[in-house]
Amino acid sequence: MRPLLITVGSRGDVQPYLALACGLLAAGHRPLLAAPRRFEPLAAARGVDFAPLNDEMLALQDKVQGQGVRAAITAARTVRPMLRRLLDDQAALTAHEADVVVYHPKSLGGPHVAEKLGVPALAGLLLPLYLPTAAFPSPILPVRVPRALNRASWRVSSAVEAPYRGTVRDWRAEALGLPRRFPPVADLVEGGGVLHAWSPHLLPAPADWPAQAHPTGFWAMPADDWQPPERLARFLDAGDPPIYAGFGSSFSGDPEALTSAVLEGVRLSGHRAILATGWGALRPGSQPDDVLVVEEAPHAWLLPRVSVAVHHGGIGTVAAALRAGIPQVVRPFLGDQPFWAERLNHLGVAPPPITGRLTPGRLAAAIENAVALAPAARALATPIRAEDGIAAAVTRITRADAARP
């Protein structure tokens, strides 16, 4: 097969697709990964063919983080032309041969590229997003709703697309020569075109979902021979497993205050710590000897070597901590993060999420509670590590290709 994988967003949106590309390559297929150009070195290191997509919106996000509401509003006015350039880069993908397209909904253009190529399209979803269920409300709904409204709450997913539909309509006609009218992604997913890329041990398929929508398991990167910097290896060897604290690309609005609260909370807990600055959610200055600051380190390597993961609840970090068999403390910020935080608490591998202001006392208490959940985290890791979400996804992609007329 010649699968075309299209994804847009931060590393958390790209790495699972790169993992899928690696699995397809290992299975003898010839995948092409289209993603923001800043991630080309990651694909090159894995021997995956790569098509760079415009990443101006990521650069803009980097620029305005922490600059306040006015800067965000000013930036929003420039998004539409950036979006069109991103879509035009996706239109250029139709020059490549492909048998099937797997797309992240953030790409906006994925299903339309597949339509132009005349091949099946599968939405690769890292969270429940489009397929309604009465079992739980939409994970991106910002408010709680009565259980009777669970199914109705899923309409919010289609509403998220609304601001971009005009741009996509124009692009379809002008760049792809397709009719301006098109169905929402929710309709395509309900028609069977979906891969749910999380573990059923984290969230099993509800009873009202069809069999083809059952989760595949996580799309995890294969192990590599990453070598830690000497200072990281030395710090880990110097004492008991530390706490890990990192909030990825989430942003609190006051990274200095968040960092201060985390450092004091860790001190009160009596543990050592590794702080990952990521995209700037944490901004430490000087720190004590029992705290090490790193920009990033592969979660698959680092998390099995720590005792507790303190993080934002992004699904990539959730998955890595579950596989590592360590308890988690979650301070969710937005989107689906509160949903996963509640789910981890329900499974008994995390205390209740820290909502609102993270204070040193609340963090220290949560860490203490999390440490007591270590046996449950280790037990849950066993079946999750036994899954092969990549192999399951490759099988379904192969079936989609085989079902072509």
- Residue 405: pLDDT band (50, 70, 90) is low
Which residues lie closer than 8 Å to 151 by C-beta, 6 or more apart? 132, 133, 134
- Residue 64: pLDDT band (50, 70, 90) is very low
Instruction: Summarize the confidence of residues 278-285 as an average pLDDT.
Output: 71
Is residue 31 within 8 A of residue 59, CB to CB? The reply is no
Least confident of 31-35, 265-269, 276-280: 276-280
**Number of Cβ atoms within 10 Å of the Cβ of 202:** 20
Q: Is the confidence at residue 305, as pLDDT, over 50?
A: yes
Q: Is the confidence at residue 249, as pLDDT, over 70?
A: no
Least confident of 53-62, 147-156, 346-355, 356-365: 53-62
The partner residues of 309 in beta bridges, in order of sequence, read 244, 328
Query: How do residues 170-191 score in pLDDT, each as one tens digit?
Result: 999 999 999 999 988 888 888 7
Provide the residue type at 133 as one letter.
T
Instruction: Summarize the confidence of residues 6-20 as an average pLDDT.
Output: 93
Q: What is the pLDDT of residue 354?
A: 96
- Residue 291: pLDDT band (50, 70, 90) is very high
CA 297/CA 278 separation, integer angstroms: 9
Least confident of 15-29, 131-145, 381-395: 131-145
Tokens of 68: 């306040």
Instruction: Summarize the confidence of residues 9-36 as an average pLDDT.
Output: 95
What is the chain's mean pLDDT, rounded?
Answer: 90
Q: Is the confidence at residue 98, as pLDDT, over 50?
A: yes
Q: What domains, with CATH codes, occur in the chain?
A: 3-218+387-402 (3.40.50.2000), 230-386 (3.40.50.2000)
Is residue 175 within 8 A of residue 91, CB to CB? The reply is yes
Q: What percent of the chain has pLDDT above 70?
A: 93
CA 87/CA 90 separation, integer angstroms: 5
Query: How do residues 121-159 score in pLDDT, each as one tens digit?
Result: 999 999 999 999 999 999 988 788 888 889 988 888 777
Query: Using the 8-state DSSP alphabet, how is residue 226 labeled?
Result: -
Q: What percent of the chain has pLDDT above 90?
A: 70
Tokens of 213: 């929508």
Tokens of 128: 């429940």
Write b or e for each residue in 7-30: b if 16 or more Cβ atoms lie within 10 A of its Cβ, otherwise e: bbbbbbbbbbbbbbbbbbbeeebe
Q: Is 251 exposed, middle or buried (0-12, 13-18, 19+ CB in 10 A)?
A: buried
Nearest to 5 by CA among 167, 114, 118, 157: 114
